Structure 1
Amino acid sequence: MNHALITGAGRDTGRLLALAFAASGAHVIATARTTSAAEETVALVRAAGGSAEAVALDLASPESIAALRLDRLDVLVNSGARYLEGDAAPADVADMIAGAATGTVLLTEHLLPLLRASPGGDIVNLISAAGEPGQHRSTAHPAFYAAKHAQAGYAEILSARLRPEGIRVISLFPPDFVQTGPRESGAELTAQSVVDCVLFAVGQPRDCFIRSFHFEQL
């Protein structure tokens, strides 16, 4: 049974990812800033017959990341990131960049020894079209763009350096999407479609390195 850690699993897309990985047979480590949010997701996973555990993890806190202890990990899904738009206080900007950019790097580096020990390690990054060069369609705060470009740059070099070790680094660049809605041509991208892309990528044979998903925008 693969062990998959999902950040930001306390709600929305992160919760959908946790449920999807558990349904595929993985043991899910569901992380969120609060234990209660992570436990809510774990309860849903277990109610559906899956295996999961809850872990409180604050990506904006290097101390919280350093305190994380696991025995095994096969898949790391970096999906936890605070969204920011409109006017934002300096503290909100700092918190968002710390979690999405610095937190992603520190957590990934912290867990790399376990991924290297796995027979099939995968790192999945839910970045955003805001991390693509020249993209400006999102209404997100400019600092969100900055954080997502940092994630994208880190993922790019990590993919090149880890491929010889057999670790796949898979990045998704979806536009702003909705949690629920019709999954049909002409409609906005849904969170479930993003989740399905993640499961497709990690489900491929180990000779298949899907580096990134880029989405057409309306």
Structure 2
Amino acid sequence: MRPRTLALLALAASVVALVVVVLVVQPFDDEERPDPDDLPPVSAADGVSAGVAPAQADVVVLGDSVTLQSAQEIVAALGGRAVSVIGLSGYRIDELLPTVEDALGGEDRPAVAVVMAGYNDVWQGVEEDAPVDEVVDLMAGVDCAVWVLIPTEGAWDRERGEAFDARVRETAGAAGVHVATAWRDAVDAGAGDTPAAELVAPDLVHPTVAGRQRIAEVMAAAVERSCG
């Protein structure tokens, strides 16, 4: 094959590869973000992703698909404690609220609660204070509670993520609920306006293998530091 032909083929392959990369990492526009119907309530016991039943747990961790994907790593990182991880994929905070109430509002509430939620709220552009307030109130009812902030960099406008995290910090602080920023800070340290590629998948939302491990480490460190 002639050198000119080889060069043209190489150039074409490079263009195709570039197009594929751009398509993979391009964040969703507002109008493309999912707008699911309200998801059905899930009991705490039925929502367990890893670990023991909530009624038997010393530590209950609640969140969405990011928590679900990190469930096994979270249980391992919190070794030595009875842990129940509940991750409900696609759930906003208002949809997660009945599960949080079931896990933290009864007589069998755990000593420690960890929540990492809000991805779907920010992604869908939902800005409701009441669900955040109610979850924080439930968290304040256990001996020690930690809210792990989500990244501000992702498949959403940075300002939207910053506003959500600020709302959580204000509400949690007023209620005596601890706030952990290490996961947010690690992801936001990525190049430019994108999440850290080693921690977040090309969809700009869900964690990589390394990201799942980092989430688990952040939660374990926050529990140890804040709850002993």
TM-score (norm 2): 0.38
Mark the structure with the bigger radius of gyration. Answer: 2
Q: Tell me the TM-score normalised to structure 1 length.
A: 0.40
